[in-house]
């Protein structure tokens, strides 16, 4: 996992990966950050529901990216996850991106 010229790394998540436990998610995010990513795009297109602990992991990654002048971007967020982000106030912290803006990803 290496960042592109723009310092961006895309991590694609699925319900299956998240069902295996939070450790896999944390390792994926950790690997992306250790590779030097400034902008971490988390593709949630194949995720139906996020746990609050998964969102906490995104917040942890956000702090690292922000210190590098970047951000965590959540791509392909469904309505349920968007509602969770609004209830927790994290929609102000995380950037949301429509997957249609980046076809082929």
The model's pLDDT over 11-59, given as tens digits with 9 standing for 90+, comes to 999 998 888 777 788 889 999 999 988 899 999 999 998 887 888 899 9
Those residues whose C-beta lies under 8 Å from the C-beta of residue 48, and which sit 6 or more positions away, are 15, 78, 80
Q: What is this structure's pTM?
A: 0.85
Which residues, at least 6 apart from 28, have a Cβ–Cβ distance to it below 8 Å? Answer: 11, 13, 17
The dihedral over CA atoms of 8, 95, 30, 21, expressed in degrees to the nearest 10, equals -130
């Amino acid at each position: 996992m290496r960042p592109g010229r723009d310092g961006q790394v895309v991590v694609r998540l699925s319900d299956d990966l998240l069902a295996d436990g939070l450790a896999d998610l944390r390792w994926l995010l950790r690997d992306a950050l250790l590779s030097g990513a400034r902008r971490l795009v988390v593709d949630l297109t194949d995720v139906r529901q996020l746990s609050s602990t998964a969102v906490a992991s995104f917040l942890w990654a956000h702090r690292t990216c922000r210190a590098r002048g970047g951000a965590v971007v959540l791509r392909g967020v469904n309505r349920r996850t968007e509602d969770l982000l609004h209830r927790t106030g994290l929609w102000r912290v995380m950037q949301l991106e429509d997957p249609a803006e980046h076809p082929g990803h």
